Amino acid sequence: MAQVLEFKLPDLGEGLTEAEIVRWLVEVGDVVAIDQPVVEVETAKAMVEVPCPYGGVVTARFGEEGTELPVGAPLLTVAVGAPEGLRTSGPVTPGPSGDRNGSAPSGSSSPSSSSGSSATESSGGSGNVLVGYGTGAPAARRRRIRPDRLDRTPTLSGAPTAEAPVPEAPVSEAPVSGAPGVAVPAVSSTAAPGSLAPVSDGPVPVVSPLVRRLARQHDIDLRRLTGSGPDGLILRADVDCAIRQAEETEAAKTRTARAAATPTGASPAAASPAASAAPAAERIPLRGVRGAVADKLSRSRTEIPDATCWVDADATELMAVRAAMNAATGPSAGPKVSVLALLARICTAALARFPELNSTVDTEAREIVRLPGVHLGFAAQTERGLVVPVVRDAHTRNAESIGAEIARLTELARTGKLSPAQLTGGTFTLNNYGVFGVDGSTPIINHPEAAMLGVGRIMPKPWVHQGELAIRQVVQLSLTFDHRVCDGGTAGGFLRYVADCVEQPAVLLRTL
């Protein structure tokens, strides 16, 4: 007899509370192995393939592609112990709210779910390490099933089920279509996602803080919503549905008011063409990477008293040194070194001289925390939006090593395979906005860091060199810094040292 185990969305780390299903990698009925990726999800940090810690046959999937699920919500169920198919006398029967792929409601369980831990032990523990479930078999546990959900529990056909008395409740019951003799409360059988319900004085079933904030921004009373998630949990889809209903109601009121204001007998063509032809504004949800960037930038502007200084530098010598390095042959030849790698190496040398800028502010303790190592972030524009991969221990690397790591992380960013750990933990950020063909900018600090160096495009300009006017390769450098960690003298000294290294790369020889 196969034992059906439920796999829930694990905690993906970095404080993430929900994820959006991007692509299912398995279908209902597929046989999966332990640690086989079963679904690709997108968080506020990155896209991640989630492996299943169980091996067996997929019996149900929860949620369509594009659905957002909170951490701990069921992803799928797996029948363990039947490598050649489900050994049952009939097919698996999905619950009333299962999706078209055979999904079952989140509260469902099989008759053998109480002994699910033994199945995991027999099939071997998961070797994958994701926050939320480990590498060994899960500890045995008993699940208590609410009495009012017993009659909605999907079972394996032909398997004996324990009968339990359903307590009487002062609600009307309606039979479920296709299941004679099975009754559920009429309220739950007709509830739709985002539908309104009588105001409850009890706790609001919301897990995600993003859902609460979205409701506050649109004046949605969560107590009046009926959640479509497990045990009535209110999901973002429910709030989005309520927002759309509110907008449609407001639009209907506006149309009614316009119709009332139109003179009797006037033809529709006589109405103002501007009012009838006005296109509706497009609303784009701030979610995923775009939402995470918006939150971080807003927090930076709110918490950090930043200031910006900038300087033009003659990068002719730096470009000549790079050309000579890349043209080297023989034993001294090596991988090509990019301008960004040279600038990153200059930043690590400058931070060694001015460690105040490699720090963060602990607002609760009212302390400046100077960090021992440099984890250098660099801004990268991708199809999913702006991301900032982090080069770990950049202060221990040379230009060639930094360049190789930047190239590796950039490729992962383009393919959407960066992990949350590769996008967090930076202590200083380098932003090369010159690739967009612009000269200058005032960067916003990547919270909770203390500074960011911006680099414009390098282009030929008239420049006084050795007392004569000449055409030189000029770049604008801008430094935005947290004024709490240092004064303008420190920030100016840092930026001047960077400019000196750009103009005279031989200055770097002192620190090599």
Looking at the annotation, which residues are catalytic?
483
Extract the tokens encoding 187: 């309220």
Residue 79 pairs with which residues in a beta bridge?
Answer: 4, 57
Residue pair 292/45 in contact (Cβ under 8 Å)? The answer is yes
Q: Say if residues 402 and 410 touch (Cβ distance below 8 Å).
A: no
Q: Give the type of residue at 168.
A: E
Do residues 310 and 476 make contact, with C-beta atoms less than 8 angstroms apart? yes
Beta pairing partners, 175: 183
DSSP 8-state code for residue 146: -
In the DSSP assignment, the letter for residue 395 is G
Q: At 76, phi and psi to the nearest 5?
A: -160, 170
CB neighbours of residue 245 within 10 Å:
14
Rounded to whole angstroms, the Cα distance separating 449 from 426 reads 7
Closest CA to 185 of 223, 147, 154, 235: 147
Single-letter amino acid, residue 223: R
**Cβ-based neighbour number of residue 78 at 10 Å:** 30
* 309 φ/ψ angles, rounded to the nearest 5 degrees: -130, 155
DSSP-derived 3-state class of residue 47: strand
For residues 61 and 8, what is the distance between their CA atoms, to the nearest angstrom? Answer: 11
* CA gap 215, 223 in Å, rounded: 11
Residues 292 and 210: their CA atoms lie apart, in Å, by: 11
Backbone dihedral region of 288: left (phi > 0), alpha (psi from -120 to 50 degrees) or beta? Answer: left
- Per the DSSP assignment, residues forming a β-bridge with 360 are 369
Q: What is the DSSP letter of 222?
A: G
Nearest Cα residue to 480 out of 472, 468, 492: 492
Which amino acid is present at 294?
A
The H or E element that residue 480 is part of is: strand 468-482
Q: 3-state class of 351 per DSSP?
A: helix
**3-class SS letters over 424-465:** CCCCEEEEEHHHHCCCCCCCCCCCCCCEEEEECCCEEEEEEE
The amino acid at residue 478 is: S
